[in-house]
Structures are given as C-alpha cells and as structure tokens.
Amino acid sequence: MRKTLVFVGVAVIVFAAGCSSIKVKTDYDELASFRDFRSYAWVDNESDSRGHPALDSPLTGHRIQNAVDSELIRRGYRRTDTGSPDFYITYAITSSRRTDITSTGDPYGHRYYTGYRSSRYHGTGVDVQTNHWVESTIVLDVIDAKTYEVVWRGWATADLDANPTPDRVSYYVERAIARILDEFPPED
C-alpha cells in the first residue's frame, strides 16, 4: 500500500511538471465599462503556432472555445450566435520550439603533476544535457460590440513537452483559460 501511494505521488508530480508554471498577464482599456457585458459571440481566431501539429490544429481550437464557453457560462455570461452580443471574443495561439543545452564538469579534465615538467590529464568529465520544449501562449481578446475595439486582453504562457499528447494539450488549455478568465472582467 505504501509503495502505491509513493508511485501515485510521483506520477502526479511528473504530470503537473509539463506545464506547472503558467504565467498569466492581462491588459484592458481603463475607460471601458464591463458592467453591461452579459452576452458574447465568437469571431474568427488567429494562429501562429508555426506548424506545431499538436497546437496548430482545429482540435486545439475546439478545446479553447469549449474551455472559454464553459468558464464564461459558469460566470453568468450567455453565448449568442444570433442577435447582438454585448462583446465578441477571439483567441490566438502562438508557439515556438525551444532548446536548452547545459554542460557541467571540467572540459579540460583533471590535471595533476607527476613530477618536474610532467603532467597528466585524467578524463574530461563533461556532462552535456539537451532539453527540448515548446513555449506556448494563448491570447484572449474581448471586443466591445458597440465600438469594435479591443477592451480587454488576457494571455497565458507555459512550457510544454516538445511533443505534447492530446491529453497534455487539453490539460494546458483548460488550466490556461481558467487562469486567464479569473482576471475578467477587471475589477473597477
């Protein structure tokens, strides 16, 4: 029983490490009034994921829209596909592949003297590690339906595995959207 608990704990830590640090930022028009926003509609999105197959996908787009719809409806907003909404919402997703190369040890080896004018090198002792990942950002824009101006923007950035699974992408999208929309509407 004790070994099972340790294994489950390690699995949870490994699972959460893939996008454990989602960084969220927001910006908004200080003159905009968000009090009258009750209904929304979607407008076309943009994508600049540079062909990453897990992120540049209509499936990821559906995940984002579903997560936004769930969060906004839970917060009391109503989605409308007909009529005049109070605001429009759109998203963009960007990604860039990242690589980090680190080395530790002594590239010149250990030098020791064996006598006058004589020295010897003992191995190089260098350890090189290469890490690959994808830095991904989801951006949500809220557009006032009366002025057609962006009045609020929120974005979340996280590092994902170089080849994230669909489950990892879903997990990232749901967490990122929830964290972004925690800041909407801005407090007056």
Residue 161 lies in a domain: yes
Confidence of residue 121 (pLDDT cuts 50, 70, 90): very low
pLDDT of 83-116, one tens digit each? 899 999 999 888 777 777 776 765 555 555 555 5
- Is this model's pTM higher than 0.75 or not? no
Residue 166 lies in a domain: yes
Residue 3 lies in a domain: no
Number of domains in the chain: 1
How far apart are the C-alpha atoms of 141 and 89, rounded to whole Å? 6
Residues 92, 46 contacting (CB under 8 angstroms): yes
Residues 157, 137 contacting (CB under 8 angstroms): yes
Residue 186 lies in a domain: no
51 is in which domain, residue-wise? 22-181
Q: What CATH number is given to the structural domain containing 158? A: 3.30.160
For residue 187, report the phi and psi dihedrals to the nearest 5 degrees. -75, 135
Residue 4 lies in a domain: no
Residue 188 lies in a domain: no
Any idea which of 103-112, 136-145, 156-165, 170-179 has the lowest mean pLDDT?
103-112
In the structure encoding, which two tokens stand for residue 67, read together? 């997560």
Residue 175 lies in a domain: yes
Pick left, alpha or beta for residue 83 (phi over 0 → left; psi -120 to 50 → alpha; otherwise beta): left
In the structure encoding, which two tokens stand for residue 87, read together? 């605001």
Residue 99 lies in a domain: yes
In the structure encoding, which two tokens stand for residue 84, read together? 């005049």
